[in-house]
């Protein structure tokens, strides 16, 4: 579904991502793991079209979307749930969901708002509260629900478990598994490598803007260098 | 007592025009965190253009009003394209945008001078039929009622639009976080341009109402309201629409009350700005400003 070819991204003179190539097959959950500052968020942002590419190509279903504007990519079904949730804090929970469906016909979107409020009862209960008043876990639920409102084909999740209590982390991964079972393709960036590898089908390890290792998730899980660097504390 | 009541009513009338002017100011500030200092020049052009449409083109005021307001909206699009959009990528875009909006204000003012001349004009006497109501010592004209009705109608319409319409909500989303808005599929540049359109259209509408209220318009009429508009949005809370409406009314009232109580207009501006400072000492974020003053 997604083919990234020789992607290089730079902020000014500094290259944050260098010659990165990877694929996400239809129906897969692919994880990017790597240390802070490796360039994971940068990759997701170039896929979303909010950070420009220096060189390389991004293909969606074989079609080149490298130069496509961000809002058209959303229409194409490439949706990012950003790092740090980024709910629209001053708007209500309901309005956040509505904005998630911004590019869809409003009657359809309204129906999906009701569906999301059913799926995430807490969001239904809090629908008229400011999104900023939700707890961190609730905000993450809202961010994911808001992403699903766009009816994604490819969901980009940037560190969805960051800063959450263990129970909430479990809930978030449960949702990821569910939406995957419903047919969604997922590209996941995670610090929690243990859970991420257990959940995904394929993984790439990225360090200092380069892919240093990749393979099926269960193979990487038993790779000595991955164990020592990323699974050390959690195994 | 009647005099005081009369002044309160006058304060309400002029305050609603201040509010309308300030709403446009604060709308752009809320979305971009930029002060558009050309807003007062658009206000002037709106008023003068409406007079011209009535006088020279022979339109009725009820037609001249929307035409002029729409043209002011187009000026807003021009402002965005020329003065703000090219600077948006710069790290100092708040400051450089401020400067380029001053430059646009000067250009607009020169255009007003060149097009309409350096004279004071008014809407022709027959433009609008004025009826006067009297109760005891209080008199209200139908024109005043129409002015306040139009101002309030526009402000209510804007509020409803921002709270209910899909695009209105998108404006609020961009105001909160343009990066997130982009990830949600909102065409941010389009929303910003549209915001400028609405803001400038409302500024032009305020100019027409102001000219009708004082029965006098000139190319420098924006000067008198420019600083007041800024004071009103600071008073109301930067970026807050209801705050700008409330701030406009408070400012208008404090002006006319000063005149009523002191018997002269010498202290009018001084007292109005004193009210501003007093409110800011008590509530640093303004009447309806968010408590959080700065992003951490
Ligand atoms: N807007 C920016 N301007 C300049 N440099 C940036 C910008 N965003 C990221 N960088 C730099 O690019 C590099 C990659 O950052 P990125 O945010 O992609 O890393 P990451 O892998 O997501 O890290 P983390 O795990 O901390 O989220 C870092 O060195 C960072 O400092
Ligand atoms: Mg990151």
Q: ipTM of the predicted structure?
A: 0.93
Substitution candidate for ligand 1 out of A35, A39, A52 with most atoms within 8 A of CB? A39
Q: How far is B172 from chain A (nearest CA, A)?
A: 8
- Which class does domain A2-85+152-230 fall in? alpha beta
Rounded distance between C-alpha atoms, residue A121 and residue A169, angstroms: 18
Nearest to B180 among A74, A82, A150 (CB): A82
Check: CB of residue B98 under 8 Å from CB of residue B34: yes
Spell A141-163 as b/e; 16+ CB within 10 A means b.
bbbbbbbbbbbbbbbbbbbbbbe
Tens place of pLDDT per residue across chain B (296 aa): 677 888 888 899 999 999 999 999 999 998 888 889 999 999 999 999 999 999 989 899 999 999 999 999 999 999 999 999 888 878 787 788 889 999 999 999 999 999 988 889 999 887 777 888 988 888 888 889 999 999 999 999 999 999 999 999 999 999 999 999 999 999 999 999 999 999 999 999 999 999 999 989 999 899 889 888 988 988 888 888 899 999 999 989 988 888 888 877 778 778 778 888 888 888 888 888 764 444 33
| Residues with Cβ within 8 Å of residue B200, at least 6 apart in sequence | B24, B39, B42, B72, B73, B75, B76, B77, B79
A216 forms bridges with which residues in the sheet?
A202
Q: Write down all domains in chain B, each with its CATH number in brackets.
A: 2-121+142-295 (1.10.3470)
Q: 3-state DSSP call for residue B181?
A: helix
| Residues with Cβ within 8 Å of residue A62, at least 6 apart in sequence | A3
Rounded distance between C-alpha atoms, residue A28 and residue A67, angstroms: 25
**DSSP output for A39-66:** SHHHHHHHHHTSS--SEEEEEETTEE-T
Check: CB of residue B121 under 8 Å from CB of residue B51: yes
Residues 183-202 on B with a CB inside 8 Å of A are: 183-187
Q: Is B198 exposed, middle or buried (0-12, 13-18, 19+ CB in 10 A)?
A: buried
Substitution candidate for ligand 1 out of A41, A46, A159 with most atoms within 8 A of CB? A41
Residue range A184-221, pLDDT digits in tens = 999 999 988 889 999 999 999 999 999 999 989 888 88
Beta carbon of A40 within 6 Å of any ligand 1 atom: yes
Among candidates A143, A145, A4, A154, which has minimal Cα distance to A75? A154
């Amino acid at each position: 579904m997604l083919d990234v070819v020789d992607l290089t991204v730079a902020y000014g003179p500094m290259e944050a991502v260098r010659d990165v190539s990877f694929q996400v097959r239809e129906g897969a959950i692919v994880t990017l793991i790597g240390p802070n500052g490796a360039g994971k968020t940068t990759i997701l942002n170039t896929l979303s079209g909010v950070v420009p590419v220096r060189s390389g190509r991004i293909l969606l279903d074989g079609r080149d979307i490298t130069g496509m504007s961000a809002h058209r990519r959303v229409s194409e079904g490439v949706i990012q749930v950003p790092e740090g949730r980024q709910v629209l804090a001053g708007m209500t929970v309901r309005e956040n969901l509505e904005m998630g469906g911004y590019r869809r016909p409003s009657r359809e979107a309204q129906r999906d708002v009701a569906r999301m409020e059913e799926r995430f009862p807490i969001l239904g209960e809090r629908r008229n509260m400011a999104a900023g008043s939700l707890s961190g876990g609730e905000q993450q639920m809202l961010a994911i629900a808001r992403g699903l409102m766009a009816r994604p084909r490819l969901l980009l999740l940037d560190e969805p478990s960051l800063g959450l209590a263990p129970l909430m982390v479990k809930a978030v991964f449960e949702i990821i598994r569910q939406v995957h079972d419903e047919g969604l393709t997922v590209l996941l960036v995670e610090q929690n490598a243990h859970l991420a590898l257990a959940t995904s089908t394929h993984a790439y390890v990225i360090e200092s803007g380069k892919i240093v290792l990749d393979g099926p998730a269960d193979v990487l899980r038993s790779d000595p260098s991955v164990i020592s660097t990323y699974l050390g504390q959690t195994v | 007592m009647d005099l005081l009541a009369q002044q309160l009513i006058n304060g309400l009338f002029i305050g609603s025009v201040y509010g309308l002017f300030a709403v446009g100011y604060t709308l752009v500030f809320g979305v971009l965190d930029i002060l558009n200092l050309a807003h007062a020049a658009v206000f002037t052009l709106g008023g003068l253009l409406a007079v011209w449409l009535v006088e020279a083109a022979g339109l009725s005021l009820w037609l001249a009003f929307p035409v002029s307001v729409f043209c002011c909206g187009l000026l807003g699009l021009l402002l965005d394209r020329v003065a703000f959009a090219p600077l948006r990528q710069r790290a100092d875009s708040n400051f450089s945008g401020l400067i380029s909006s001053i430059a646009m204000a000067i250009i607009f003012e020169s255009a007003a001078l060149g097009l309409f001349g350096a004279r004071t004009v008014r809407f022709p006497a027959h433009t609008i039929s004025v009826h006067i109501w009297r109760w005891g010592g209080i008199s209200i004209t139908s024109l005043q009622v129409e002015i306040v009705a139009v101002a309030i109608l526009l402000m209510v319409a804007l509020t409803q639009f921002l709270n209910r319409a899909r695009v209105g909500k998108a404006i609020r989303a961009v105001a909160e976080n343009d990066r997130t808005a982009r990830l949600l599929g909102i065409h941010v540049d389009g929303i910003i341009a549209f915001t400028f359109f609405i803001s400038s259209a409302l500024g032009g509408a305020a100019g027409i109402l102001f000219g009708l209220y004082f029965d006098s318009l000139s190319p420098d009429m924006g000067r008198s309201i420019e600083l007041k508009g800024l004071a009103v949005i600071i008073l109301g809370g930067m970026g807050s629409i209801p705050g700008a409406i409330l701030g406009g009314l408070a400012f208008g009232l404090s002006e006319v009350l000063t005149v009523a109580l002191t018997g002269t207009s010498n202290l009018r501006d001084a007292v109005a700005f004193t009210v501003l400072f007093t409110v800011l000492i008590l509530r640093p974020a303004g009447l309806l400003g968010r408590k959080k003053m700065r992003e951490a």
